[in-house]
Amino acid sequence: MLLGTAPPSKVKVMSASNPAPRKQRWYKQVRETYSFASAEISFLSLKLLGIFAAVFAAFYAIGVVLEQQILMGITAFSVAVLVTLIIFGKMAEQAAYRSIEGQIGAAGSVLNALRGAWFVSAGIGVDKNQNIAHRVVGRPGIILVGEGSRPGLLLAEQRKAHARYVPNVPIHEFIVGENGITISNLQKSIKKLKKALRPAEVTDVRRRLDALPKSAFPIPKGPLPQGRKVSRR
C-alpha cells in the first residue's frame, strides 16, 4: 500500500501505560494487501495461480530432462513462490496507484512515500481551481509537482518564489494528470533526475526553505475549494 500513516486522531503518545503498538506480522500484511488488490484486480487469484503454475512447470520440466525431478521439484516450488510474490507486489502497487488516481492530493500522497534522502512538503500552494503544488528537496535540487486541471500558473509562481529565496539551485517541474506524467510514474521520474547537489547542500536548502515564514511563498487569490483543507505553506 502507498500510504500507511495513521490519521492524527489515531496517533497516541507512548508511555509506560501506553506501550508502542506491536509490529504487524508479515502474513497479516500480505492478507490485507491481497484483500485490497483483489477488489481492484479481476480474477487476481487465478492470475497468481497461473503465474505460479507456469514457473513451477518450467523448472520442473528441466528437472525431468536432467532426471533430477526431486531436486528441481523443490527448486521449482521455491522459485515459483518467490516469482509469484514479486509479481503480486507489483500488481498490488499498480492497483494502489489506480485507486487514488484523479483524487485531490494523490500526488502528495505518492511523494510522501518516497524512500531515501528526499524532503517532501506537500500542499505548499493551492488555488481556487483546486490545483495544488508540492515540493521535494533532494540531490537533484528542488522539485515542484503540480496536480489539478491546470496547475501551470501555480507552478510558475512557486518556481519564481523559490528561485528568489534559494538562487542557483536547480528547480524541476512535474505536472501529474492530463498532458503530464501518470501518478504511477511520478516517483520513477523524480529518481531519474541527475544529481546536482551534495548532501550538505541539500540539508542547507531544506533548512533555508523550512525557516521561511508561511507567507513567504505566493498564495493565489480567491477562495479555497469548499470542504478541502490544504496547507498553504
Q: What rounded mean pLDDT belongs to the chain?
A: 80
What is the pLDDT, as a whole number, of residue 145?
Answer: 94
What is the pLDDT, as a whole number, of residue 19?
Answer: 52
Q: Can you read off the three cell numbers belonging to residue 120?
A: 517532501
- DSSP symbols for 40-82: HSTTHHHHHHHHHHHHHHHHHHHHHHHT-HHHHHHHHHHHHHH
Q: Are the beta carbons of 126 and 226 closer than 8 angstroms?
A: no
Nearest to 110 by CA among 97, 126, 125, 95: 97
Domain ranges of the chain: 25-100, 106-216
Q: Can you read off the three cell numbers belonging to residue 17?
A: 501505560
Q: Give pLDDT < 70 ranges for the chain.
A: 1-24, 178-179, 213-233
User: Quick one: angle between helices 26-40 and 69-100, nearest 10?
Assistant: 60
What is the pLDDT, as a whole number, of residue 40?
Answer: 78
List pLDDT tens digits, range 163-211.
988 888 999 999 987 667 888 889 899 999 999 999 999 999 998 888 7
Pairwise CA distance, residues 145 & 223, whole Å? 22
